[in-house]
Structure 1
Amino acid sequence: MRLLATVTIPQTVWVWPAAILALAATGLLVWTYRRSPRNDPAGRIAFVAKLLGIFVLTTCLIEPLWSGRRAKSGANLFVVIADNSTSMNIRDPGSDRTRGEILRDALDVTRADWLAALADSFQLRMYTCDSRLRRTSDFSELTFEGTASTIGAALQAVAERYRDRPLAGVLLMTDGNATDGLAPSADPSGSPPIYPVVIGRDRAGKDLSVANVSVSQTAFEDAPVIVQADIEAAGFAGQTVAVELTDESGGLVERQTWKASKNDERQAFRFRVRPSRAGILFYQVRVARVLTDDASDPTASHSEATLANNAWTVVVDRGEGPYRILYVAGRPNWEYKFLQRAVSEDDQVQMVGLIRVARREPKYDWRGRSGEQSNPLYRGFDNQDREETEQYDQPVLVRLNTRDAAELQEGFPKTAELLFGYHAVILDDIEAAFFTHDQMDLLHRFVTERGGGFFMLGGKDAFREGGFDRTPIGSILPVYLDRMPENVTIPTIRMALTRDGWLEPWTRLYDNEQAERERLTQMPDFRVLNRVRSTKAAARTVVTIGGDSEEGLPALIAQRVGHGRSAALTVGDIWRWGMQSPEAREDMDKFWRQTLRWLVADVPGPITLESSDMPDGANDAMRLRVRVRDESFEPMDNVSVAVEVDQPQGQTLRLTATPA
């Protein structure tokens, strides 16, 4: 292969005489033919022939030299890079072959003579490029299944790999769809020449694609998972498109149709799903052109540029459960009965009860007891075991739904190992004096450090009336416990949703506004209210009493506190709602289930896994961060963590985490 050629005129004695002779002969020839009366085609041909003869004679006199340079075979390197990404499966308009098929034919060593010619003159190096650069021998490994097209990184890798070596150039065969951006090299002067061969056309063909899918989980019981998909249709104006949501077994969950009005249009679809089980679930959004009223065309490959973007798989984490909630009440009441009845229908939530049925008596009681040390509540019962009966200066507590005989045997937990095993704590009509200062500090840490949920219900011994002002528990409440003016009166205690309440799925029981307003109208008047004047800065009032958000008093308030969340319900007799009718009881049970689901929704476990994008983002790489904590939720040292990643192809990738 001749790369460069030049023409050289030697400096001989005949150069100037030949030039003068040529000019004189040309002038004489022109003067002679201008005076000749013949002006026919034969005369013109004779003039041109004589002029060429003068040029040939002059060239022979000066004797020009033709010189060229040819690369020494095998002395230099040449790199050929072929794009192996999935974008090469696109079929351009009017073509019966995909871009990948065209590229594969061009690189077929049995038919590509140009590759053999390159190999004769250079040391040929062949690579494929998708998420990373791979060496190949004959391009037979092209599968066009790469999930990325890191063209910029591949060119930089070649430039770095062959730095200070005789690299003649790089032949890049691609469709130009780079996923990492073609950033210029840090040192352009040292980069080899790049010869791009673009495969494909600029004009886009007909194509349906799932552009983006997002998943949001709510505590709304009827549809706790919302899948939103953005569908793009190019070249399908006037045609009907079907969008389907399927579960991991391939079963159809929901199907929606859409008639595109323009050739380039984007439409958002929302699917409301209530998974039948907990844990990790997989759903797939698929889009296809509708052929008939009840059939779609999932295999019409020639009607679209590609079918690779017609489906999107999403992951839904519904948690493993069960979520354990500790309910602490200062007296037996109706609230626990209805709460337990509502939770019993949710197999992912378990509520453990610790109910005080008798208060402790003073340490020094001058009434005669005749040596009796146990609480008078146990009088008249046989087999009074001193270890199982509270002393008269201790409260009498009843444990319900405990995991074993040892759970809560000593009352409210006194250590982090015991308390942090729960996901949420509910305090119902119990005063601050029931807890020691260490227990209140522990409950504060439970919310702010462990990330648990905290919920205080109203009652005569709750909030300010219970002495929680200026305590660690009061600091995590979403309301200030200031003294209310005595002249503030509320004629009726009726609930109303605020603007934030209408936007929160867990506070709404119906999916339409009219039904929700009817439900609020039919709710009874309540009689027990712990009045609070103001909420904290980060708190959101979702329900008020006696008017809207500006006029009414806060009734249901929520906020984020540290790593956890807390809520307060200032109404102390919600049970009246469920006493109206069977329909009202169903609404109240649904309200409790949704509220408790929200309370434990984001509570972390001892081992958490977080994923984030890598800073460079060249290969769509993800960084996995694993946090391992003990029963007290203190970071654990000197532990080994292994991570297994199940890939879609069925392969398992095993990773070993390194301490950060």
Structure 2
Amino acid sequence: MTFDLLPKNIILQSPDWAPVAFLLLGVIALLVVTNYWRMRAAWWVKCLGVLLKLTALVLLAVCIVQPMVQARRPRPQANLLPILIDDSRSMQLKADRGDRSRGESVQQWLDRENGWMVRVAQDFDVRPYRFAARLDQMADPADLTFDGGASTLRTSLVQLQQRFDRRPMAGVVLMTDGNATDDAVDDFQWADLGFPVYPVVPDSVRTPDDLRISSVAVRQTDFETSPVTVTVSAQASDDDLSEIQMRLIDCVSGTVVAEQSVAAGADGRTFQSRFQFRPQQSGVNFYEVAVFDQRDRDRFPATVGKPDSDELESASRWEATLLNNRRLVAVDRRGGLYRVLYMAGRPNWDFKFMRRALQEDAEIDLVGLLRIANKEPKFTFRDSTVNETNPLFAGLGQDEEETAEQYDEPVVIRLGIKDSDELSDGFPDTAEELFAYHAVILDDIEPAFFTADQLLLLRRFVAARGGALMLMGGAESFGASDFVNTPLGEMSPVYAPGRAVFRDERSAPRRDRKLELTREGMLSPWVRLRDNESAERQRLDRMPAFRTVNPVGDIKPGAQTMLMLRDEDGNRVPGLVVQRFGNGRTAAWTIADAWRWSMRRDRSANDDPGQAWRQTTHWLVGEVPRRVQLQLEGGQSLGSPVQIIVDCRDAEYLPLDNASIDLKVQQQQFGTTDKPATQASERLDVQLQPSETEPGKYVGRFWPRDEGAYRFTADVQAEDGSPVGRAETGWVSRSDASEFERLTWDRDGLAEIARQTGGEVISAGDLGSFAKSLPNRKVPVTEIWQYPLWHQPWVLCIAMACLCGEWTLRRWQGAR
């Protein structure tokens, strides 16, 4: 029975005795007051005596009705309490060589003799789990090995949530350093777990001494002598280091590409350096970056490979670990044969020097179409002796004359063709034929040479197929009357000049103009021929002047001017302008006598004109898509899948459905200078499925089994079995780099997890108090229980203390 005047959690077990108890209490209280009223004593003695005795009587009267306290507590063993323990290699770290490792500290926390473990086991279903690359249940803390290659913290907590879905969970006790290696998920919220997380951290933490690679960035350009730049950033835990060594090793050959001594930055802790080099071969290449202090040089031989696992704690003379001092890098120097179609309105020296330059590049195939005679008007009235074919072909034989250009057709010669059928009808007029090329160069040819369909096809080649178009200067370039209203004028990065300007420039005397690089040109490696600004300016000063430049109008919005030409009066005109157009890019080269550069160059020096033509051509074709493109995303650490995307196109570069894709993955093993590289594993087949959202795309997943370098190869066939193409790329699973990216306990990250989930960060020294308070926290499954309030020792103690105090007061004051 309960009373409205009592708290809701207090009930009376013997409510029938309440009237008797209250009556006796009232009678005895009246006698006590009367007795003290008649005493001869100070007033405060009377009041205090009455208060002490009445307090004792009230407590004794309450015991008659047997008050009970009603409360809720967790139902024993009904609520789950997983203990999630980090079993990765970072738990082997020690702040100092004489200290316990993080893993040893965790095992001490989990010792079953600890009172907190016994306490929580009384009320909760405690289940220990360990996680590294995956989540596993364990029976005993002794099963922990701390040799996992990853710390999939977020993934493991999500798996716990899924595993115990619809099961009551009181929370998760988390024992980790907080350095997770999961791939980031933008929209993930810890609060979505649905249960509180209680991270456990040591009472005090000291940051270990360490030098690590913080980032590696790879940049590829069309700069011929060093097209690949690897930027390495390292960070030390303190500012005691003034200089470190950085080394780059070619994994395939096992040779050292470069080694540099790098001084510390302004803060004394950061180091940065760049390696600029040219790979020995095109395609996928793998390199290893290593950073170390001079004291550890003997620990870093000039070979490929990481330290053994036992070197985690003892290899370095001063570092906590060497596992974050090396990192593999994949460089996909896209190779293959790029086909460039060169169409010229008349034979010229520029084609000769361009062709000579590109013959030194095995990756560029230059195909030339040179018009050597314009078409002639066709008359219906002719002498019977006049032939139908162009007179240039007279006397070559009847077979040649039958296949020669007619009188009303231009005469075009083909150079560099693969077979006799290629470009037999002149400039391509079908998408399948034109789209086989990666870039088109139009030199000194008027738009009227092309049919309307060919011009629209050329526009589609750039905008949709993603090809490149370069317009070169000449008598028929940029200023033709019909240039503005054609797709060529639309794709050009410069507007056509006004007729008056064009006429004045054509009739003006020739002026010497010196070449200059703009700011954009100086920042673009494919425009420069030297690796620094001062050397580039000296080269420009030695260059011969140009005299023939096409007049052009304004630069279109979004276009960039790379080269300018300046005359003696300081007047400047554009020399090279580029822009994006749809999926491709276009360029305008206004210099009509670039051949002067090749004819007047110093034969004993570098072939600068040849290098310029090769770099410009590589820029044209560098981003042109192929029929098969392979793209990889995610999967940087063990336990995280690599997202595979293969984009397939037909001959007209439309999405290719129902393609057959043979995708193989192979882990790489690298050798040294004495031992060549070998393939470490068999080829693994990965099944791909068509994308549900984008036609022509096929997607799949691959889970790296081990850390290291992987090579992905996709061979695609059309539905009829004809080959479409092959794509290849490289991938590096760098779990060690992520695992040891930071050596300190991530207290802030753990605190954020606890805050979002409604948990609390627990210090190791407070585990006992946490175990006592956990049953009083919010848990899913509880039960009601009662305990007698009157049977508590404190009730009898207070009553006895009040009676003794009242008796002592009367004796002390001599009250009667």
TM-score range relative to shorter protein: 0.7 to 0.9
From 46, 58, 82, the equivalent of 2:85 is 82
- Confirm or deny that 1:205 pairs with 2:225: no
CA contact (8 A) 1:156 1:185 kept: no
Q: Which amino acid aligns with 1:225?
A: V
> Which whole-Å CA distance do the structure 2 matches of 1:113 and 1:144 have between them?
28
Q: Is the 8 A contact 1:149 1:177 kept in 2?
A: no
- The structure-2 alpha-carbon separation of the partners of 1:336 and 1:255, relative to structure 1 and needing over 3 Å to count, comes to same
- Name the residue aligned to 1:5: none
Distance in 2, matches of 1:164 and 1:292, equals 54
Q: Which residue is equivalent to 1:375?
A: 390
Alpha-carbon distance in structure 2 between the residues aligned to 1:293 and 1:141: 33
Please give the per-residue CA displacement for 1:180-234, whole angstroms capped at 9, x wherever unaligned: 69944248xx625x44333695321111111111111111111111111111111
Distance in 1 between residues matched to 2:605 and 2:318, nearest whole Å: 54
Q: 8 Å contact 2:514–2:565 — kept in the other structure?
A: yes
1:453 aligned residue (468, 489, 494):
468
Aligned mates of 1:326, 1:263 — CA distance in 2: 53
Matched ranges for 1:305-316 at <5 A = 305-316=320-331
Give yes or no for contact 1:478–1:567 (8 Å, CA) kept in 2. Answer: yes
- Aligned 1:378-393 pairs, distance under 5 A: 378-386=393-401, 388-393=403-408
1:282-293 correspondence runs (5 A)? 282-291=286-295
Query: 1:595: which partner in 2?
Result: 616
- The answer for the alignment partner of 2:565 in structure 1 is 545
Stretch moving more, 213-222 or 645-654: 645-654
Contact 1:328–1:426 at 8 Å: present in 2 too?
A: yes
Change (3 A) 1:555 1:307: same
User: 2:689 matched to which residue of 1?
Assistant: 657
> Deviation per CA, 1:119-153, whole angstroms, max 9, x where unpaired?
787654332234554444556475543434324x5
Q: 1:494 aligns to what?
A: 514
Aligned to 1:510: 530
Asked if the contact 2:577/2:588 (under 8 Å) is kept, the reply is yes
- Distance in 2 separating the partners of 1:560 and 1:100: 55
Describe the SS at the equivalent of 2:295.
coil
Cα distance in 1 between the residues matched to 2:605 and 2:394: 41
Which range moves more in the overlay, 379-388 or 304-313? 379-388
Equivalent pair of 2:263/2:271 in contact (CA under 8 Å): no
Measured at CA, do residues 384 and 268 of structure 1 come closer, stay the same or move farther in structure 2, by a change above 3 Å? same
1:461-610 → structure 2 map (5 Å cutoff): 461-465=476-480, 467-483=482-498, 485=501, 486=503, 491-546=511-566, 551-580=571-600, 581-583=602-604, 586-610=607-631
TM-superposed deviation, 1:265: 1.5
Of 634, 638, 655, the residue aligned with 2:658 is 638
Alignment partner, residue 220 of structure 1:
223
TM-score (norm 2): 0.66
CA distance in 2, matches of 1:381, 1:176: 83
Gap change, CA 1:513 and 1:479, over 3 Å in 2: same
Q: Distance in 2 between matches of 1:205 and 1:513?
A: 42
Q: Are 1:245 and 2:248 matched, yes or no? A: yes
Q: CA deviation at 1:167?
A: 3.8
CA contact (8 A) 1:9 1:65 kept: yes
Q: Which moved more, 1:556-565 or 1:377-386?
A: 377-386
The CA deviation string for residues 338-384 of structure 1, in whole angstroms up to 9 with x for no partner, is 11110011111110111122222222275536262222111122343
| Alignment-derived partner of residue 176 in structure 1 | 178
User: In structure 2, what residue type is equivalent to 1:158?
Assistant: L
* Residue matched to 1:409: 424
Indicate how the Cα distance of structure 1 residues 159 and 606 shifts in structure 2: closer, same or farther if over 3 A, else same.
Answer: closer
Change (3 A) 1:434 1:123: same
Choose 575-584 or 555-564, whichever is displaced more. Answer: 575-584
1:108–1:420 Cα change, 3 Å: farther
Summarize the Cα distance change of 1:487–1:206 in structure 2 as closer, same or farther, 3 Å threshold: same
Residue ranges of structure 1 left out of the alignment (5+ in a row): 1-7, 21-57
- Equivalent residue for 1:320, pick from 318, 335, 348: 335
- Indicate if the aligned counterparts of 2:265 and 2:271 stay in contact, CA closer than 8 A: no
Matches for 1:58-457 after TM superposition, within 5 Å: 76-96=79-99, 98-100=101-103, 102-103=105-106, 123-130=125-132, 133-138=135-140, 140=143, 142-151=145-154, 154-159=156-161, 161-178=163-180, 183-186=189-192, 191=195, 194-198=197-201, 202-249=205-252, 250-260=254-264, 265-291=269-295, 300-301=315-316, 303-364=318-379, 366=381, 368=383, 370=385, 372-386=387-401, 388-457=403-472
Corresponding residue number in structure 1 for 2:717: none
Deviates more, 1:619-628 or 1:301-310: 619-628
Question: What is the TM-score of this pair, normalised by structure 1?
Answer: 0.81
Task: Kindly report the root-mean-square deviation, in angstroms, between the aligned alpha carbons of the 2 structures.
Answer: 4.2
Mapped to 2, the partners of 1:507 and 1:314 lie a distance apart of 27
Q: Relative to structure 2, which stretch is displaced further, 641-650 or 168-177?
A: 641-650
Measure the CA separation in 2 of the matches of 1:105 and 1:344: 70
Partner AA of 2:530 in structure 1: Y
Where do 5+ consecutive residues of structure 2 fail to align? 1-10, 30-58, 302-306, 669-679, 694-816
Secondary structure of residue in 1 paired with 2:545: coil
Distance, in Å, in 1 between the alignment partners of 2:217 and 2:118 is 50
State the secondary structure of the residue aligned to 1:594.
Answer: helix
| Partners of 1:548 and 1:210 in 2: CA distance | 52
Once the two structures are TM-superposed, the CA of residue 566 in structure 1 deviates from its matched residue by: 0.9
Whole-angstrom distance in 1 between the partners of 2:234 and 2:367: 46
Taking the aligned partners of 2:326 and 2:568, their CA distance within structure 1 comes to: 45
Give, in angstroms, the shift of residue 172 of structure 1: 1.9
Q: Distance in 2 between matches of 1:424 and 1:446?
A: 9
**d(CA) in 2 for partners of 1:209 and 1:460?**
60
Distance 1:550 1:444 in 2: 36
**Mean CA deviation greater in 529-538 or 416-425:** 529-538
Bigger RCO (CA 8 Å, 6+ sep): 2
The worse-fitting range, judged by mean Cα deviation, of 331-340 and 249-258 is 249-258
In structure 2, how many angstroms separate the alpha carbons of the residues matched to 1:613 and 1:547?
A: 53
Cα distance change on mapping 1:470 and 1:172 into 2, 3 Å: same
